[in-house]
Amino acid sequence: MDKSPLWALSVRQPWAELIILGFKDIEIRTWATKYRGRLLIHAGTTLDLPAVVRWFRRRKDVPTGAVVGSVKLVGVVRFTRETWKEWGDRHLDNGRFPTDRNLYAWILEDPRPFTEPIPYLGALKLFRVNSPSVRRALTASLTQR
């Protein structure tokens, strides 16, 4: 079994689920990273309740506090007012552009959902995951299709 480090990003629900289902291929962050490659998506314990209702109707329809799948992080670009409007359908937000901070678009490809969410404690920024069950679920998800 591959022993390379597994990196994860914690994302509030329902956005984590929308990433893994392939509906959201840009994640907005206030920080950039040089990391590129396979990235686990961790569904945080905090919910964006209005968005949950908009996309899934019920709270119990989205797992929290678990690794739900992975994506490839293929690029990070500075987000501007123009890209906010142009890519609104990709990051699923067509509201007002926040002008009070720098934003970065994380470009995501090849979502691979896990068969079952795997409970795991999240963290801020990118964090390492050291779990044999997550590694097995990742391997299984990459061999499907």
Over residues 27-66, the pLDDT tens digits come to 989 999 999 999 999 999 989 888 888 888 766 778 999 9
Helix (H, G, I), strand (E, B) or coil at 60: helix
Q: Is the pLDDT of residue 26 over 60?
A: yes
pLDDT for the residue 85:
75
- Local structure of residue 48 (DSSP, 8 states): -
The rounded mean pLDDT for the chain is 89
Q: How far apart are the first and last CA of the chain?
A: 20
Residue with tokens 């984590």: 16
Q: Is the pLDDT of residue 79 over 80?
A: yes
pLDDT for the residue 103:
86
Euclidean distance between CA atoms 19 and 41, whole angstroms? 8
Walk me through the domains of the chain, giving residue ranges and CATH numbers.
6-143 (2.30.130.30)
Over residues 121-134, the pLDDT tens digits come to 999 999 999 999 99
**Mind giving me the DSSP string for 99-145?**
-SS-EEEEEEEEEEEEEEEEE----SSEEEE--HHHHHHHHHHHH--
pLDDT for the residue 89:
75
CB 113 within 8 A of CB 21: yes
Q: Is the pLDDT of residue 94 over 80?
A: no
Name 33's bridge partners: none
Q: Is the pLDDT of residue 139 over 70?
A: yes
Q: How many CB atoms lie within 10 A of CB 30?
A: 10
Q: What is the pTM of this model?
A: 0.90
